[in-house]
Amino acid sequence: MEQTARELTTVRLRAAYRLLRDLGSGSYGRVLLVRPRAQSSAGRPPPAALALKLLPKASTPFTSFLREFTVGRCVSSHPGLLRTLPPPLETPKLYGFMQELAPHGDLSSLLEDGKGLPERWLKRVAGQLAGALDFLHGHGLVHGDVKPDNVLLFDASCRRVKLGDFGLSRPEGAPAAAPVGPLPSAPPELCLVRPPDTLALDPSLDSWGLGVLLFTAATGRFPWEVALAPDPAFEAFATWLNAWPPQEPPLPWSGFSPAALTLFRGLLALDPERRRPPLTVLEALEADWGVERGGESGGEEEEEKRKEEEEDLGDGESSLEEWTDEEGTGEGDKTTVPPPLLRAESDRRPEW
């Protein structure tokens, strides 16, 4: 991290990038679609649009920003994990870094209440996420926030998806605080934590998150609001898991095939020590899951890539809080052209 801190590049955003549109925001900050203002050579296409993630310095500890950037860089070699591009950036008020653009948004955009993905698409998502999580776990990391919003789409029918947002990713064994408010994807052992207590992160947390995500992607809704009693949906599920002799699953679980139910039993085991790893998904990909809802119509007939300039939010002149409010930025001490983005095969990775 010390090396990464030394490589932090100060940049004037409005001078270095053209703002295209807002991709999303949350408590962490916001993600913007931008295009570098670098002049293209004759005969070469203009620079590709990228996703710029910005985090306010006022609410983001420097070490947290560096951790997220460093984890993103260290796992960028895997095809199922969103690529983070160097260098890390800063303005007087913001930290930031570039990520590759997912032109079709995130998985939640495909889901409607009560209507999930076709089974073929669902299995594509399942297999790719299982491989991505296995890679993270093999490198001693826990993602910690597996949910539809963090699954990025690179085509209209889930043939290529990537897991992103490493803001909560930590080494296995690192302390994890209780979620703020009800979080459907959090496992029971994490929901039981009360401040100032913490829970040691374990890969089983991601197995649970994957199980909840697959249910949500299949049905278009979360299985429960929180994985604790007295949530009635969770209580019904837990009663079914613990029943002996085995009972018929409650609604809506009864709509899944035996193979899918076996998969859910493994990923969503109440005891984290008995929870199956994400690669368990691969054992069930050839079986019927009982969630087929049509074929390939619709998505594959869409454009392969969305128009990246649907809405120009100001072209560096105004809007979006005056392009992140660079008030007080000097003219002579800031980068006014985009810093070079190093190619993955040639850059020097920061040490973990």
Return the active site residues: 145
Q: Which residues are annotated as a binding site for ATP?
A: 53
Q: In 10 A of CB 59, how many CB atoms? A: 10
Question: 326 and 336 in contact (C-beta within 8 Å)?
Answer: no
Q: Is 322 left (phi over 0), alpha (psi -120 to 50) or beta?
A: left
Half-sphere CA count of 62, side-chain side, radius 13 A: 9
**Whole-angstrom distance, CA of residue 1 vs CA of residue 208:** 30
CA 139 to mean position of chain CA atoms: 18
Residue 49, token pair as written in the block: 């649009």
For tokens 């079986």, the residue is 287
Distances (CA, A) of 122 to 118, 149, 152, 252: 6, 15, 14, 17
Secondary structure E strands in 158-300: 161-163, 170-171, 175-176, 199-200
**Whole-angstrom distance, CA of residue 191 vs CA of residue 252:** 23
Q: Which residues of 9-47 are buried (b: 16+ CB within 10 A; e: fewer)?
A: bebbbbbbbbbbeebeeeebbbbbbbbbbeeeeeeeeeb
**Whole-angstrom distance, CA of residue 199 vs CA of residue 181:** 16
Q: Which residues are annotated as a binding site?
A: 53
Is the four-CA dihedral 238, 241, 245, 250 of positive or negative sign?
Answer: positive
Half-sphere CA count of 4, side-chain side, radius 13 A: 26
Q: In 10 A of CB 50, how many CB atoms? A: 22
Question: 323 and 316 in contact (C-beta within 8 Å)?
Answer: yes
